Amino acid sequence: FLGGMAGVGLGAVGAAGAAFSLLTGGNNNKAAAADGTLTIPDLLEGTTSDSTTTYTLTAQTGTSEVISGVTSTTAGYNQSFLGPTMKWTSGDTVLLNITNSLGDDTTVHFHGAHIPAKMDGGPQNAFADGVTWSPTFEVKDEAKTLWYHPHALGTTAEQVVHGLAGMIIVEDDSDTSAALPSEYGVDDIPIILQCLASDSSGDIKYDVTGYLSSGLSYPVLCNGTNVDSTTLGFTATKTRTRFRVLNASPADIMTVQRSDGGTLTQIATDQGYLTEATEVTTIRLVAGARAEFVLDLKDAVTLQAVVTTGWIRGGSGTYDFLTVTPDASDTPDDLPSTLNTITRYDTSDFTARTITLGQSGQNMMINGSVGTSMSSMAMISTTLDAEEVWTISNGTQLEHSFHLHDVPFQLIEINGEEPTGVDLGWFDTFEVVGGGSIKIAMKFTDFTDDTYMYMLHCHLLQHEDEGMMAALMVTDS
């Protein structure tokens, strides 16, 4: 598949985030002219009967221009690069028929979805080329932005960077959802940001060895279009436009902001609505994270991504990826003063655990175990309805993006400080800086299984493939 896979356990070379090759440039010096149109991923049509909606996906290979003018071998769902957006309705049942035509094992993980471990698409769900996997489950999530991507052992980075990723929008019938823009591609706009690594022949790199080869470029993409020297355009026919941003990069942090320094009205984090709409000037997304914001447009607004990483190469760049030009005369109602009720956990009786992110020479670890196989990874066992508070302690000097499957978490502490603002929302993926720590709280509800496991891992995909992954089993007692 896609030129073969390097051995896992290549190790985190450049432990201190050595600036191997500075990511410079970005297109922020050019005028913010819209010289290409934003591609909106197709909405995947399902067929519904008896409130079960069935979707068909094929993981396939193809070619795409990741670097403008250069053909890369890529992969996608039902297309050559990335995949269609799925819309799930809270309370409905979905059935997915997913066919693997990659020529290598794959899985499809529903990142952020609260579903049974057996349907979660973790490494235990790997299925071979030519096989169709058909998970089915009730959508228990409320309105939020999720995504789907492969999660087989040792090949996650390779498969995701070649394009296997798509967005999932969960809709619900809350008053808040009714009050927000929701017309897909019109006033509800998906934005998938990626920073990849490619050599000049278009060969996309996915492991540490690949990243350390010389002469690479680090193309930045918005919905699959290279925005290194192009600012995409979108004409908004409604004054209020909602954006759902996913950072599908293998490693980099994407900070979204306006080129004019103005504010974005953030309405949601990874796991749904904030308590109230919050004016922010930047939205910092680690690999795997999502956020939603709205803009009430009077004049054109240019959105930028500041791309940073402490991993391997250091450096940063600013990319004007989208200019939104209003062509609307409507006056939107005020946003609801309360978007969501978030009851903060009182963790005084919660069970405490420590999850240590570590590294030993060539290996990445959780709690001292290198999770490159199901038998070698650390296993966290808990029980249904357990209430827990975890300290995620980063014993490395590298930046990590901590992701927990199954249940949303609240942040209790970030590097010893109490969270404020949008950090009081619900998350499934959060930054843990080198040498830092976060404390998170969660409740394990609804699902038990003593054969299938959820995963917890670093969402820097190279780190995950190199072993920074552990298993979580939720049982009856």
Question: 66 contacts which partner out of ligand C2O, Cu ion, none, CB within 5 to 8 A by kind?
Answer: none
Give the nearest residue (CB) to ligand C2O.
111
CB of 388 to Cu ion, least distance (A): 22
Q: Which of residues 448-467 bind ligand C2O (CB under 6 A)?
A: 455, 457, 459
Q: Which of 87, 111, 238, 242 binds ligand C2O (CB under 6 A)?
A: 111
Question: 439 contacts which partner out of Cu ion, ligand C2O, none, CB within 5 to 8 A by kind?
Answer: none
Q: Which of 238, 242, 405, 439 binds ligand C2O (CB under 6 A)?
A: 405
* Both structure tokens of 203: 């060969």
Residue position matching structure tokens 């969402």? 459
Interaction between residue 460 and Cu ion (CB under 5 A): yes
Question: 244 contacts which partner out of Cu ion, ligand C2O, none, CB within 5 to 8 A by kind?
Answer: none
The one-letter code for the residue type at 286 is V
Question: 455 contacts which partner out of ligand C2O, Cu ion, none, CB within 5 to 8 A by kind?
Answer: ligand C2O
CB of 148 to ligand C2O, least distance (A): 9
Question: 405 contacts which partner out of Cu ion, ligand C2O, none, CB within 5 to 8 A by kind?
Answer: ligand C2O
Interaction between residue 439 and ligand C2O (CB under 6 A): no
> For residue 415, what are the CA distances in angstroms to 11, 182, 254, 393, 418?
26, 36, 20, 9, 8
* Both structure tokens of 431: 């930054």
Per DSSP, 358 falls in state E
Exposure string for 393-421, b = 16+ CB within 10 A, e = fewer: bbebebbbbbbbbbbbbbbbebeeeebee
Q: Which of residues 366-395 bind ligand C2O (CB under 6 A)?
A: none
Interaction between residue 288 and ligand C2O (CB under 6 A): yes
How many of the chain's residues bind Cu ion (CB under 5 A)?
Answer: 4
Interaction between residue 34 and Cu ion (CB under 5 A): no
Give whichever of 205 and 400 is closer to Cu ion, judged by the CB atom: 400
The answer to whether the beta carbons of residues 152 and 123 sit under 8 Å apart is: yes
The DSSP-derived string for 377-427 is: S-EEEEETT-EEEEEEEE-SSS-EEEEESSS-EEEEEETTB---GGGGSEE
Give whichever of 196 and 236 is closer to ligand C2O, judged by the CB atom: 196
* Both structure tokens of 476: 């009856």
* Both structure tokens of 171: 């809709």
Count Cβ atoms below 10 Å from residue 273 Cβ, excluding itself.
26
CB of 307 to Cu ion, least distance (A): 17
CB of 455 to ligand C2O, least distance (A): 5
CB of 253 to ligand C2O, least distance (A): 15
Q: Which of residues 131-150 bind ligand C2O (CB under 6 A)?
A: 149
CB of 329 to ligand C2O, least distance (A): 41
Question: 460 contacts which partner out of ligand C2O, Cu ion, none, CB within 5 to 8 A by kind?
Answer: Cu ion
Q: Which of residues 329-348 bind ligand C2O (CB under 6 A)?
A: none
Spatial separation of the C-alpha atoms in residues 50 and 32, rounded to whole Å: 49
Count Cβ atoms below 10 Å from residue 462 Cβ, excluding itself.
29
Q: Which of these ranges, 5-13, 60-68, 411-419, 450-458, lies near Cu ion under the rule CB under 5 A?
A: 450-458
Interaction between residue 457 and Cu ion (CB under 5 A): no
Q: Which of residues 365-404 bind Cu ion (CB under 5 A)?
A: 400
Give whichever of 357 and 380 is closer to Cu ion, judged by the CB atom: 357
Spatial separation of the C-alpha atoms in residues 194 and 327, rounded to whole Å: 28
How many of the chain's residues bind ligand C2O (CB under 6 A)?
Answer: 10
Per DSSP, 43 falls in state B
Interaction between residue 400 and ligand C2O (CB under 6 A): no
> For residue 322, what are the CA distances in angstroms to 39, 129, 278?
11, 37, 22
Spatial separation of the C-alpha atoms in residues 365 and 378, rounded to whole Å: 9
Interaction between residue 240 and ligand C2O (CB under 6 A): no
Interaction between residue 458 and Cu ion (CB under 5 A): yes
Q: What stretches of 78-230 adopt beta strand conformation (E)?
A: 86-89, 93-101, 109-111, 132-133, 136-138, 144-149, 166-171, 188-195, 220-222, 225-226
99 forms beta bridges with 58, 132
Interaction between residue 109 and ligand C2O (CB under 6 A): yes
Give whichever of 203 and 464 is closer to ligand C2O, judged by the CB atom: 464
Burial class (CB in 10 A: 0-12, 13-18, 19+), 228: middle
Percentage helix, strand, coil, to 5, in the chain? 5, 45, 50
Question: 151 contacts which partner out of Cu ion, ligand C2O, none, CB within 5 to 8 A by kind?
Answer: ligand C2O
Taking every pair of Cα atoms in the chain, the longest distance, rounded to a whole number of angstroms, is: 61
CB of 98 to ligand C2O, least distance (A): 16
Tell me which residues touch ligand C2O (CB under 6 A): 109, 111, 149, 151, 288, 403, 405, 455, 457, 459
Write out the residues near Cu ion by the rule CB under 5 A.
Answer: 400, 458, 460, 463
